[in-house]
Structure 1
């Protein structure tokens, strides 16, 4: 996989997100994530996680969106820069807002403002203050909404080159704050000026929001008939872009106005339209549920692939170290035994040189199959993984060294019986094994236990290979 191809895939992900093709985006990011993990391309992995989060949120799969944000932030802590951290914060705020976790949203926004200010990313800082204004309005804190909106506008003016839509979106929140404060002397002229802005010819969603805001301002002024007209225009634009949530809010306001105006005929029509929107939303929720089930399946597959070695289908080193570290830490607290077994193919380089690397791969897979059959008894207390190259590691949680010896000797005997051929050529296979334990909790770190098992493995090699040794250097036949 070339850097150019992964770069192209990242660009494609952004294109799908901008176009709102979320089902395709999820599938595309599945592939991007898998390939990025395999190639250890950190930018590709981070890109997949952040676009996954956006796509899951947009289809209503909030749980999966949170998982993707969490995965992004964790991966970012190891491999990302501050720009990636800022991306993660922005997505996180959207999810908090959706769940009405406003305090969490405000906390995340403050982190984003601090980071964006330090990086001088004034567009991101402006968005953060604008979102903070929105959160304040949701909490009916319109003074706070106005204060943060005005700061957001100041930050937007700092951004070079000028981006008109950045300022316009902040102004929507400022005008919303004025309406909430019943400050019609500021709200009216501001909204009317925004309605005359040529930018609305391009941004239909903002046009719908602007007419909705204008209708709310007119209601405050008791201009109910004019407000109804403004809401009707907002309805048409929201329908055009199929923003059902915005459409639902507008229709609710139209229903209220029809009651105030005592227009029963129009009220009946609006109620029918409102019911249709609710029905469409309900059907959409069913579609989202089906998609979420499919998404969960895909996510589970990706998570498994992220933990599994692609050649042997055993767990990989990262997963081994994570799980073993937890087991050893718990065992240290409880004084429980954990056994570590390290296994290495004898003369593996010679096999590759003589028969070719495909033959070496086949031999390694056969050994892994035998290990699974003989050693692996329980997923909850045992873990078999490929540590690297031709070295395998087996961890037994709660098993003593003496009890494990019998199983290891049985494994050695089974491997000695193997008759492996590649292109009709027999390949001689033996293994050397080293084993140790955590001394009933004395060793709580994987690196310490693995080092001892690895030393025992090299003792087996030094003693002639095709045998098992414990850390104490006593050879078992």
Structure 2
């Protein structure tokens, strides 16, 4: 434990000091030790940090691989703060691959969660990424609005985090001001940015500073100055083998040199551009595969976030989120909402007699039958934990709710479930309650009413249902 704690401190220090080669060298032994000690919190942090580094050096494939690696860990063991960081990183990758719709969707999800947590650090990052989104969409005024919100929030951060985020926010703000023609405001920001990148590793942020200053010159028709600084940016992007940035820079340089009417330089830059396009053509298939993988990863994450892995019905988190919403809506509309708890009778004895694997199959069978039956109604069915399931259903009257419960009980109880040549007689007990047409609007209250009814069913011998009046 002490060794792992020391490694954690070292890894955080290496990231802070941009000593990425040393971070990569220590990554595998640190991650391996964290996994041995079931320290998933540290594992998630390590992979999130490395995915960000991969992104910053232009290695999108490795970035996606790290995000994919931690998808299940995030859901099962991650904190809300880690989920927010994951969604923000996911959105950034979507934007890099040109999927602006998904970029905005995941940024808004991350923003909502960060605001709920009062996570100012992550909120600053999200406002920065929203600024980038609006720059790409050609809406610099919207970009300025979001970036300024981020700068204001950054004042609440500690000195170290404030500086890192201020650089990103001011970088993108300089581009927004340039696009708006507010060159003096942009120039003030460039003074700060160039003093910051002096002596720093030439990663994406540094290259973008040079690129945006080049665009600033170009917007004012200072083409020689633009050509010089964009050439430096291109050299650094080439050293990083960042083909996406190289393509952007060559596009801009072609426009600049065309304005200078320098045919020799134009021929040279166009030749470079053709070489880059050929390289991009070679990796286009890989990029398409990455997009497919990202989409599959997104679907996997959505499924893991809402579904119980054993029974494939909804999980407790999804259910509790939605029943609170249903109850609040029903309070306004006076909609009758039925709620029940379903318990598999004597499930411990089934596990003890037949083993946990067969017990799991019994749970899957009960869940499948219940889910299939309730699919005919506007309902949500979920595994609450162990052998206990919960459901809510919108009904026009209490009589119809009782009819639904009665049919469900008869559909499942006293069924013979066959698993691996074993014939297992299964019965269920249910406790039922309602929101009394909106009079009950608290989840805890409707749950307690159903739980009390379930207790009555068990006290009276199980294999029955009780409706709490």
**Normalized against structure 1, the TM-score is what?**
0.74
CA pair 51-235 structure 1, distance change in 2 beyond 3 A: closer
Query: Match of 2:365?
Result: 366
Q: Does 1:257 align with 2:264?
A: no
CA pair 295-201 structure 1, distance change in 2 beyond 3 A: closer
Report Cα offsets for 1:183-228 as digits up to 9, x if no partner.
xxxxxxxxxxxxxx7x48956984796499579869979896x876
Structure 2 counterparts to residues 208-219 of structure 1, below 5 A: 210=210
Choose which of 237, 245, 266 in structure 1 pairs with 2:248.
245
Q: CA deviation at 1:134?
A: 3.1
Report Cα offsets for 1:263-299 as digits up to 9, x if no partner.
4x66566567668878988998897677545533431
Choose which of 384, 388, 394 in structure 2 pairs with 1:387.
384
Query: Match of 2:427?
Result: 430
CA pair 105-285 structure 1, distance change in 2 beyond 3 A: farther
Aligned-partner Cα distance in 2 for 1:91–1:402: 52
Aligned residues: 424
Instruction: Indicate the SS of the match to 1:394.
Output: strand
Given that 1:106 and 1:135 are in contact with CA atoms closer than 8 Å, whether structure 2 keeps it comes out as yes
Choose which of 162, 174, 190 in structure 2 pairs with 1:133.
174
Instruction: Indicate the SS of the match to 1:419.
Output: strand
Aligned-partner Cα distance in 1 for 2:326–2:219: 64
Q: CA deviation at 1:471?
A: 0.9
Query: Match of 1:449?
Result: 446
Q: CA deviation at 1:466?
A: 0.8
Choose which of 70, 74, 77 in structure 2 pairs with 1:32.
70
Structure 2 counterparts to residues 178-193 of structure 1, below 5 A: none
Report Cα offsets for 1:409-432 as digits up to 9, x if no partner.
232223333224667665443211
CA pair 332-9 structure 1, distance change in 2 beyond 3 A: closer
Deviates more, 1:363-372 or 1:23-32: 23-32
Q: CA deviation at 1:61?
A: 1.9
Query: Match of 1:173?
Result: none
Query: Match of 1:189?
Result: none
Q: CA deviation at 1:313?
A: 1.1
Aligned-partner Cα distance in 2 for 1:383–1:266: 66
Q: CA deviation at 1:66?
A: 2.4
Deviates more, 1:416-425 or 1:110-119: 416-425
Instruction: Indicate the SS of the match to 1:119.
Output: coil
CA pair 202-317 structure 1, distance change in 2 beyond 3 A: closer
Given that 2:257 and 2:265 are in contact with CA atoms closer than 8 Å, whether structure 1 keeps it comes out as no
CA RMSD in angstroms comes to 3.9
CA pair 358-266 structure 1, distance change in 2 beyond 3 A: closer
Structure 2 counterparts to residues 297-316 of structure 1, below 5 A: 297-316=296-315
Report Cα offsets for 1:82-111 as digits up to 9, x if no partner.
433333333333323322343443333333
Q: CA deviation at 1:352?
A: 3.7
Deviates more, 1:114-123 or 1:313-322: 114-123
Q: What runs of 5+ residues in structure 2 fail to find an aligned partner? A: 1-34
Given that 1:384 and 1:393 are in contact with CA atoms closer than 8 Å, whether structure 2 keeps it comes out as yes
Report Cα offsets for 1:299-347 as digits up to 9, x if no partner.
1231122111112211012222233333333333333322222211223
Q: Does 1:461 align with 2:458?
A: yes
Q: What runs of 5+ residues in structure 1 fail to find an aligned partner? A: 154-165, 170-196, 473-477
Structure 2 counterparts to residues 271-420 of structure 1, below 5 A: 291-292=290-291, 294-378=293-377, 381-420=378-417
Aligned-partner Cα distance in 2 for 1:439–1:354: 42
Deviates more, 1:62-71 or 1:351-360: 351-360
Report Cα offsets for 1:345-377 as digits up to 9, x if no partner.
223344444544434323222211221233332
Q: CA deviation at 1:402?
A: 1.4
CA pair 239-460 structure 1, distance change in 2 beyond 3 A: same
Given that 2:230 and 2:249 are in contact with CA atoms closer than 8 Å, whether structure 1 keeps it comes out as no
CA pair 220-292 structure 1, distance change in 2 beyond 3 A: closer
Given that 1:76 and 1:84 are in contact with CA atoms closer than 8 Å, whether structure 2 keeps it comes out as yes
**Normalized against structure 2, the TM-score is what?**
0.75
Deviates more, 1:297-306 or 1:107-116: 107-116
Choose which of 15, 19, 24 in structure 1 pairs with 2:50.
15
Report Cα offsets for 1:142-191 as digits up to 9, x if no partner.
222234455x46xxxxxxxxxxxx7344xxxxxxxxxxxxxxxxxxxxxx
Q: CA deviation at 1:46?
A: 3.7
Deviates more, 1:385-394 or 1:415-424: 415-424
Query: Match of 1:45?
Result: 83
